[in-house]
Amino acid sequence: MLIQRRTAIGLALSALAAPALAQTRGAVRILVGFPAGGSADTTARLVAERLRGSYAQTVLVENRVGAAGRLAVEAAKAAEPDGTTILLTPASMLVIFPHLYRPATLRYDPFADLLPVTPAGEFPFAMGVGPMAGSVATLADFQAWGRGRAEIPFSSAAAGSMLHFLGVQLAKATGLAMTHIPYRGSAPAIQDLIGGRIATSFHPMVDLAPQAADPGGPVRLAGVSSAQRLPRFPDVPTFAEQGFPQLTGSEWFGLFLPARTPAATAAALHRAATEAIATPEYREAIARLELRPYPLPAADFAARMRADYDKWAPIIAESGFRPEEG
């Protein structure tokens, strides 16, 4: 009789607790540090749609735009570690920025303040070559064209990005006098590439995909940073097969929780997120963004993050680049 009574009390307490848990999970938000419509925002919304029901009743995307994605990371750091605030961020905010900004400017430690859950996808970079470089179509062509020139302007979508330092790596590998011209976003940089004001420009493949789809257009793709050629663009060679394996790499969009989030909560999100990433609908949708699904166990994701952090440290230090802090 005593056991039955305790069981009844336990079931009653569980029933009372269930609505409270549902209410808490009904206000989950995914923070994104970039405007609506971009690839980070689109990926976050695809994840949010598939977390509803498995992880939470309601999952909303909140765009915390500013400071090149840093504001969203700061907001995630400051959030309650109860599983209701998730961060989706590109790798650069966590593995590049700590090498660029002083702690007073960065205001977060990616390894101490965040709990890695899983990557939501990864994407390669591409090198576009414009009319300034004549008929250049490959890295060998570009090296021959640039040899002996006093200055070769190249652009990226942002100063201090992986794209910026990919150009720095190429300059070092080829011995060319390449000068970085930063832009605010891919669109204006590609416009100036088409207009002949920039010789070459580095972008996520999704931004240069329209150029790749127009082989007779003014921009040619000299290479991609993926380990293998991309299925949708089999005629675009990789950097590695052209003799530049050091340019192989990609950037990921990662899901994170605030540090000190309970292990059971983090495990629940990891389970729901990896199930979401495995759905054919998600994989088909991100393929249109030139992303590939990239789920990892949390420990493996943490190791990848540390490896990327270590990889970029000497490249950034050697470049001598320092952003304007503010």
List, for residues 82-133, the tens digit of each pLDDT value: 999 999 999 999 999 999 999 999 999 999 999 999 999 999 999 999 999 9
- State the average pLDDT over residues 313-317: 96
HSE-CB at 89 with a 13 A cutoff on CA atoms is: 33
Domains of the chain listed by start with CATH number: 25-123+251-319 (3.40.190.150), 125-247 (3.40.190.10)
| Mean pLDDT, the chain, integer | 91
List, for residues 184-233, the tens digit of each pLDDT value: 889 999 999 999 999 999 999 999 999 888 888 999 999 999 999 999 99
Token pair belonging to 4? 């039955």
Could you tell me if 213 and 230 are in contact, meaning their C-beta atoms sit under 8 angstroms apart? no
Could you tell me if 79 and 85 are in contact, meaning their C-beta atoms sit under 8 angstroms apart? yes
- Please tell me what DSSP assigns to residue 277: H
Rounded distance between C-alpha atoms, residue 103 and residue 110, angstroms: 11
Confidence of residue 25 (pLDDT cuts 50, 70, 90): low
Least confident piece of the model among 15-19, 47-51, 178-182, 235-239: 15-19
Rounded distance between C-alpha atoms, residue 288 and residue 204, angstroms: 13
Confidence of residue 22 (pLDDT cuts 50, 70, 90): very low
Q: What is the pLDDT of residue 215?
A: 82
Could you tell me if 198 and 188 are in contact, meaning their C-beta atoms sit under 8 angstroms apart? no
Could you tell me if 157 and 131 are in contact, meaning their C-beta atoms sit under 8 angstroms apart? no
| Amino acid code (one letter) for 48 | A
